[in-house]
Chain A
Amino acid sequence: MHTILLYEDNNNLRESICSLLAMTEEYKVLGAFGDCLLVEQQVQLHLPEVILMDIDMPGMNGIEAVKKIRVFNPTVQILMLTVFDDNEHVFLALSAGANGYLLKKSISDRLISSIEDVLQGGAPMTPAIARMVIENLQQPQRQQVKEDYKLTNREKEILQLLSRGNSFKMIAASLFLSIDTVRTHIKRVYDKLHVNSQIEAVSKAINEKIV
């Protein structure tokens, strides 16, 4: 039984997600909130394994909440929810320390699998999101990045392919790897990127123009 906290300001959706998760047995929603103003206390109180966090929320937005959580809790898995799949917010969220990103239109289909993924240490991003992330890393103005995040050539390769819109399957096919291997590589990339989700790392990234 994995514990989950949900932050979503739309009442209907919040309700629906709870219903959806209630139908499962593996997942239990410990709390569902309409804003993340008291996120620190709530997380510290409930100690969930997974947090589902809406980005666009009144008062404090989800990305800020993620930063706050990561101050005291580096391990909880955070999955961002949003209607918009734009680069900026995605990358901000990931840099803040989110583990994944899920479009609301895909929730009904992929919520459970995403949560599973994230719990397994995977990087439950859609290729689009992944691409976005990678794209941000690779954008010309970000070639001032002093550190390379020490990506291996393979990882870079995979990243490149990802950034070109190839699915994991396609990447695997073209590199003659299994999909799992590809996923692992991605995860490592993500982890490496993730290192920066620590507060100091985030600021580092910001300084180095990644964010």
Chain B
Amino acid sequence: MQIKLVALGLLLFLGSFVRAQTPVIDSLKKIIAQDRQDSVEAYALIKLADEFSRTNMVEAKRCSGNAMAIAIRLNLSLLCSAAYSQLTTMNAQTNQPDSAARYLGLLKQLSENTGLPTVKENYNSTAGLFYRFQGNYKAALPYLLEVLRLSTKRDNKIGMAGQSLNIGNTYLDLGEYENAMSFHLKALSLFETLGNKRGLSFCYNGIGTDFTKLGRYADALPYIRRSLALKTELNDKKGIASAYTNMGVIEDGLKEYDKAVTSYKQALVFNKELSLIMDQAKDGLSIGKTYVKARQPDSAREYFLMSRILFRQLNDTNSLVAVNAEIADLQNNLSRQRETEKSFMNTLTNSIEMGDKSAEVDNYKYLSDFYARNGQFDKALLYNEKLHRVTDSLESRDVELKMTGLERQFNLEKKEKEISLLKKDRLLYEVNAQKQQIFRYGVLIFFVLLVVIGFLVMTRYRAVQKTRRLLEIEKIRNHLARNLHDDIGSTLSSINILSKCALQQAGDNTRVASDLEKIRTRSSTLMESMGDIVWAINPENDPLDRTLLKMKEFAAEILEPAGIGFTFKEDPRLSDLQLGVEARKNVYLIFKEALNNAVKYSGATQVDINLDRPPGQFLMKILDNGKGFDPGIRHPGNGLKNMQSRARDMQSVLEVHSSPAMGTMVRLALPIT
């Protein structure tokens, strides 16, 4: 411990002076050259080994080995432990784990045997470092923490700083970044206090790595830069390599792939120089990964292969698996790419063969994009050019003209179609309109009919009403007429009766009698006439046979009391004959007059009445066997005159033939339709 103190002190003293350590090495070399074979030499050898460990492992090992030999011979425990420690670390670093383990074991033995705290401390720290090199961080940690404890106990600042650094690194490797950071910072402050650049450089590296692991690349970068600067100053090649590696990580994280690759490559150079195979392999792997991200699969592949060789050498199966996966992935991508490229090419060929210009254009586009994505810009450009060439040709004038022509024709056809459609529409419309019109007419007619019917109904109704009213009036009139008739008839009858009575009482007074007779006769006649009129008016008496019946009755009434026999013959064809009211009245009255005359004047005993219907005629013949009369002589009374006038009224012919021998014949010929 004392020696170490002295050694370190010496180092510090020397270190603070100047960058270049050549003078230190030279002076140490001088001491060794003396070959004193004492502790001083051993100590100088240790120191030299320490120096060389950063630049020339082989030389460092040799020095350390020599120191060990002297220390063992002289039983210098402290120096021995120092030598063991160095050898353990150096062997571990140069990937000779068995040797490293051996020296550690020797160191452990020494520590247990001597029980010196310094040695103990040495052992613990060496063990920790050893496990760290093996990657067994969990195992390393307790040793390191022990060392720290021991250092802190002795207030060995440098030791404390160093161990804090180691612990920080260990936590870093364990992924406990917070702890790592705290220990790194602890170490940093200690180193700053001690002004130990070397330590500082490690601390910067550590802190930078912490940030990197946390993804805080921007924060990490300055620390790593500082670390790199110091390490370069200290010509700590291993440190420089480490720093560059870290830089690469950061730049990769910042997606500055080109910078990252450069940094990694720098690290690789140094690691190669130092023959640090593991680091080389790791760097190679990192470079490859970065190239993948940078879409440079060929370069990536190159470095993957390189790292794989190294991992094989190291027999690091885990890493081998990882790198193989990367290679395989790359291969896949490559092959996938190649497949995609192939399929695009096929499609393109196809489209060209089929003359599918639009497909060809599309394929050019696809290929161009594909190559651009994969960084093959030359090919991308090529296909882009092809694309434009084709589209240009498509857009060439004559094609355009053809297109326009076609378009025009198409439009024309379209127009024609439209026109025909319109015509059809028009037709449909017309038909529809017609239908509508018909319908409308129908409706109109219907309504008109309705109106007409309504009107008819109304008029009929009104007519009916009118008729009813008229009938009513008629009824009333009839009633009035009836009453009047009754009144007149009754009074006439009374006159008639009175006159008769008076006649009986008149007796011989002929003048009175004749007057009374006149009254009687006239009233009688009047009553008769009235009765006749009423009879004639009565529509029930329209049929001729009614008239004939009445005539027959009359004949009986007038002839039988007078004792005159008579015959009444009627032609059956007469029964359906219709005479008008006037006609039958006239016929009847003529008949009556004729019979009356016969009764009054003829003195006949037989009257023959014949009624016939020769074609187109109604023929009435009244023949009596009386004494006749002279038609030429005027006779009192209007009888004959009346008969004639009645006959004339009927447009008929009345003939009266009379002679004393033959009697009288009254002949009426009435034309009928």
Binding site for B on A (CB under 8 A): 8, 10, 12-17, 19-20, 23, 54, 56, 83-87, 103-105, 107-108, 126-128, 131, 164-167, 169-170
Contact = CB atoms under 8 A, between A and B. Distances in A.
B666 interface: no
Given A127-B556, A127-B557, A164 B549 contact: yes
Given A10-B486, A16-B498, A23-B504, A107 B493 contact: yes
Contact of A15 (B485, B494, B548): B494
Contact of A16 (B493, B527, B557): B493
B485 A20 contact: no
Interface string B490-522: 111111111011001000000000000000100
B178 interface: no
Contact of A56 (B486, B527, B534, B538): B486
Given A104-B527, A127-B556, A166-B552, A23 B495 contact: no
B578 interface: no
Contacts of A20: 497, 500-501
A103 B531 contact: yes
A13 B491 contact: yes
Given A85-B535, A105-B528, A12 B495 contact: yes
A33 B392 CA distance: 141
Contacts of B568: 165, 170
18 contacts: A8-B490, A12-B494, A14-B494, A16-B493, A16-B494, A17-B497, A20-B501, A54-B490, A56-B483, A83-B531, A87-B540, A104-B490, A107-B497, A108-B496, A164-B549, A165-B553, A166-B552, A170-B556
Interface of A is mostly: helix
Contact of B560 (A23, A54, A83, A167): A167
Interface of B: 482-483, 485-487, 489-498, 500-501, 504, 520, 524, 527-528, 530-531, 534-535, 538, 540, 548-550, 552-553, 556-557, 560, 568
A22 to B, nearest CB: 9
Given A83-B486, A164-B549, A165-B556, 16 more contacts: A8-B490, A12-B495, A13-B494, A16-B493, A16-B501, A17-B497, A19-B497, A56-B486, A83-B489, A83-B530, A104-B490, A128-B550, A165-B549, A165-B550, A166-B552, A169-B560
A86 B535 CA distance: 8
A10 B531 contact: no
B491 A105 contact: no
Contacts, number: 105
Contacts of A12: 490-491, 494-495
B477 to A, nearest CB: 15
Nearest to B491: A12
B557 A126 contact: yes
A158 B591 CA distance: 26
A16 B523 CA distance: 14
Contacts of A56: 482-483, 486
Given A84-B485, A131-B553, A165-B553, A108 B490 contact: no
**Best-buried of A87, A104, A131 by chain B (most CB within 10 Å):** A104
Contacts of B550: 128, 165
A166 B560 CA distance: 12
Contacts of A104: 489-490, 493, 527
A17 B504 CA distance: 15
Given A10-B487, A16-B493, A108-B500, A167 B527 contact: no
**Best-buried of B490, B491, B520, B524 by chain A (most CB within 10 Å):** B490
Which 4 pairs, one residue from A and one from B, show the smallest C-beta to C-beta distance?
Answer: A10-B490, A167-B556, A16-B494, A165-B552
Contacts of A86: 538, 540
**Best-buried of B485, B535, B556 by chain A (most CB within 10 Å):** B556
A77 to B, nearest CB: 21
A105 B560 contact: no
A31 B568 CA distance: 44
A15 to B, nearest CB: 7
A19 B96 CA distance: 193
A128 B553 CA distance: 7
Contacts of A15: 494
A126 B494 CA distance: 20
A94 B56 CA distance: 179
A167 B553 contact: yes
Contacts of B491: 10, 12-13
A164 B528 CA distance: 22
**Best-buried of B493, B534, B538, B540 by chain A (most CB within 10 Å):** B493
A103 B485 CA distance: 13
B489 A108 contact: no
A10 B527 contact: no
Nearest to B502: A19
Contacts of B560: 167, 169
Contacts of B498: 16, 19
Contacts of A103: 531
A13 B490 CA distance: 6
A165 B495 CA distance: 30
Contacts of B497: 13, 16-17, 19-20, 107-108
A163 to B, nearest CB: 9
A106 to B, nearest CB: 9
Nearest to A14: B494
Contacts of A19: 497-498, 501
A105 B522 CA distance: 12
B538 to A, nearest CB: 7
Contacts of A87: 540
Contacts of A14: 494
A56 B486 CA distance: 8
A131 B493 contact: no
A164 to B, nearest CB: 7
Contacts of A170: 556, 568
A105 B531 contact: yes
A20 B493 CA distance: 12
A20 B568 CA distance: 35
B525 to A, nearest CB: 10
Contacts of B492: 105
A104 B493 CA distance: 6
Given A10-B494, A19-B498, A105 B557 contact: no
A209 B85 CA distance: 165
Contacts of B557: 126-127, 167
Nearest to B534: A84
A10 B491 CA distance: 7
**Best-buried of B495, B496, B501, B557 by chain A (most CB within 10 Å):** B496
B520 A108 contact: yes
A53 to B, nearest CB: 14
Contacts of B489: 83, 104-105
A85 B489 CA distance: 12
B536 to A, nearest CB: 12
